Amino acid sequence: MVVGAVAGAVLLPLLAVPAHAGSPTEPAVDLAGVRGVLRSALAQGAPGSMARIDDGGTVYQAAAGVADRGNGRAMSDADRFRIGSVTKTFTAVVLLQLVDEKKLSLDAPVNRYLPGLLPDDRITVRHVLGHRSGLYDYTNDMFAKTVTGFEAVRTKVFTPRDLVKLSLGRARTNAPGAVYSYSNTNFVVAGMLIEKLTGNPVGTEYENRIIGPLKLRDTFYVHPGMEIPGRHARGYLTPDQAGAPLVDATEQTVSWAQSAGALLSSTRDLNTFLSALLGGRLTSAAQLAQMERWMPASGSGQAYGLGLRRRDLSCGISVYGHTGAVQGFYTYAFASKDGKRALAAVANTSNNGLVLNTMLRTLDSAFCGKSVKAVKAPRGKAPVERHEDVAPALTLD
C-alpha cells in the first residue's frame, strides 16, 4: 500500500496517512518530516530529492524537484541513480557468502589469495572490509580539485591494480588493524578477491548472488559503460567555486571506484536489499554477525562493521546500512535491526555539504517518527568534498 507521494518542484498535499500498523513500541513514520527534509535539500541547491520507506506491507514515498534540469521532468521513485559507496555493502555480502562457502577466511592475509598485491602480509580480509588496513585512499589525490579531477577520470577505464598502485604510491595511514580509516582502496581490493576466488567478473557475482535471487529490477553494474539504463535521475556535481554552474556528471565510467562505488539502483531495490540482508536471507547468521562486529568510526553516533554502518539516531534507535556519495548523487540507505523497516533517500547533487547534512535527517523522520530541526549553515566557506563518502561538515567515513 502506498500512503503518500510528492512530485515536482512544488510539494503537493499528501493523501491521508493511516496510523502505523506495526509494533506499538515502534515509532510511526513521520512522512511530513521526510517531506520537509526534501524541501530543505532543494533550497540548499539539490535539483531533486526523493525518499522511500518500506515498512512491512506499507510503502511511503516522497519526491521533490526535478530528475532532469534540461526537460524539467519531476523526480520519481521509478528513477534509477548511482548509489556510490552503498556498493560496498553489496561487495561485502559477496565476500561473506564466500566465507560461508569455505573459500575465504576473514582473518587470512589478503596476500594469501592475491600474492604480492600488498606490501604487508599482516593486512587481512577483515581489515580490508572494516577499513582498518591502513591503505591510503587514492581518491584523496584524484579529486583534490572537484570538477577538473572528475573530468580527468570521467571516461577513463582503470584496472583494479592501477587503483591499488595509486594507493601504494603514498604512505599508509596506520598499521594493519590499528584504527578505522575509511579508504576506497579497501573495496577495490575486496573486488579483486571476489574475482580471484570465483573466476568471474565482480558484476557477474553481484548478479548471481544478490540481484537475481532478490529480483532487483533496477540494480546494475555496467562498468565500464557510462550510461544509466532506463528511466533515471541525472546527477549534478557542484563545483568548488561559489556561483559556478552545476556540472552534469551523469555519464561516467565510475572506473575510479568499481567495486567500491559503481553500482546503479533505485530506492525500491535498496530497501529490498537491506531488508533481505538484515533479515538473514543473504548470508548465514554467523557471517551477518561478523558484519555487525562494530568498531568506532569517525563522527558521533557511528560505528562500522564489515561493509556495514551503524548510525545511532536521536531517539536511541540504531539503524544499519551505508551512505553513498558519487559525483552527482548523495544516497542514504538504512534499515532497522531486523530489516522490517527500510529507508532509501537520494538527492541528485554532490559536493554540497549542506544537502548531505540535510538528507541525513530523513533517518530520524523515518525511524524516530519525529521531525528534527534544520541544520544551520556553517560560518565561512565549507571544506571541499575530496572523495566518495566524505563531505564538508559531516564525517560519513
DSSP letters of 97-120?
Answer: HHHHTTS--TTSBHHHHSTTSSS-
- Classified as helix, coil or strand, 59 is strand
Choosing from 85, 133, 181, 265, the catalytic residue is 85
Q: Is the peptide bond before 47 cis (omega within 30 degrees of 0)?
A: no
Neighbours of 209 (CB within 10 A): 18
CB-count burial class (<10 Å; 0-12, 13-18, 19+) for 69: middle
Q: How many CA atoms lie within 13 A of 318 on its CB side?
A: 15
- Classified as helix, coil or strand, 85 is helix
How far apart CA 164 and CA 172 sit, in angstroms, is 12
Sign for the pseudo-dihedral over CA of 13, 14, 16, 17:
negative
Query: What cell does 326 get?
Result: 558519487
300 is catalytic: no
Burial 218-249 (b: 16+ CB within 10 A, else e): bbbbebeeeebeeebbbbbbbbeeeeeebbeb
Altogether, the residues listed in the chain come to a count of 397
How far apart CA 339 and CA 291 sit, in angstroms, is 14
Contact 31, 4 (CB under 8 A): yes
How far apart CA 223 and CA 249 sit, in angstroms, is 15
Query: What cell does 179 get?
Result: 584504527
Q: Which residues pair with 326 in a beta bridge?
A: 329
Supply the residues annotated as catalytic: 85
